[in-house]
């Protein structure tokens, strides 16, 4: 069965990204970020994660944004922002406006 979830996808050429529904199969997640995936926790409650390309910096993918969650870091390539419930990927648990505020607070 092909499960879809409401997520935010942010490409390097987008200011904030966009909300969409995507298949959460491993194959589709890898296709969306163009390679092997890595999951990074963005917000603990509600549990919000970023899925990015694990090899993005090695492959010198385009800069997407600067993140200051636990330590300053540059995020590269396309990323997927979604929720986690009981170890499964879930719909994005924060509003798009909350995402924009979070991104603005990091990327300055």
- Model confidence at 85: pLDDT above 80: yes
Question: In total, how many domains does the chain have?
Answer: 1
pLDDT tens figures, 26-73: 999 999 999 999 999 888 888 999 999 999 999 999 999 988 766 678
What is the H or E stretch that residue 33 is in?
helix 26-33
The residues with which 9 forms a beta bridge, in sequence order, are 18, 80
What is the H or E stretch that residue 31 is in?
helix 26-33
Q: Classify residue 22 by its DSSP letter.
A: E
- The answer to whether the predicted template modeling score (pTM) of the entire model surpasses 0.85 is yes
For residues 65-90, average pLDDT: 88
Dihedral in degrees, nearest 10, Cα atoms 95, 100, 102, 103 = 140
- Give me the residue label for tokens 């390539």: 77
pLDDT at 108: 55
Burial (Cβ within 10 Å: 0-12, 13-18, ≥19) of residue 64: buried
Domain enclosing residue 98, as ranges: 4-106
pLDDT at 47: 92
pLDDT > 90: percent of the chain: 74
- Give me the residue label for tokens 């990204």: 17
Residues 4, 25: Cα–Cα separation, whole Å: 9
How confident is residue 1, by pLDDT bands cut at 50, 70 and 90? low
Let me know: does 77 contact 52? Beta carbons within 8 Å: yes
How confident is residue 22, by pLDDT bands cut at 50, 70 and 90? very high
């Amino acid at each position: 069965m092909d499960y879809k979830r409401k997520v935010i996808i942010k490409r390097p050429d987008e200011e904030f990204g966009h909300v969409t529904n995507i298949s959460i199969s491993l194959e589709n997640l890898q296709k969306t970020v163009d390679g092997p995936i890595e999951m990074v926790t963005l917000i603990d409650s509600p549990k919000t994660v970023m899925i990015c390309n694990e090899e993005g910096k090695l492959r010198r993918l385009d800069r997407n944004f600067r993140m200051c969650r636990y330590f300053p870091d540059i995020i590269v390539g396309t990323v997927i922002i979604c929720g986690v419930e009981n170890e499964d990927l879930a719909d994005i648990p924060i509003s798009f406006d909350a995402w924009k505020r979070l991104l603005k607070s990091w990327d300055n």
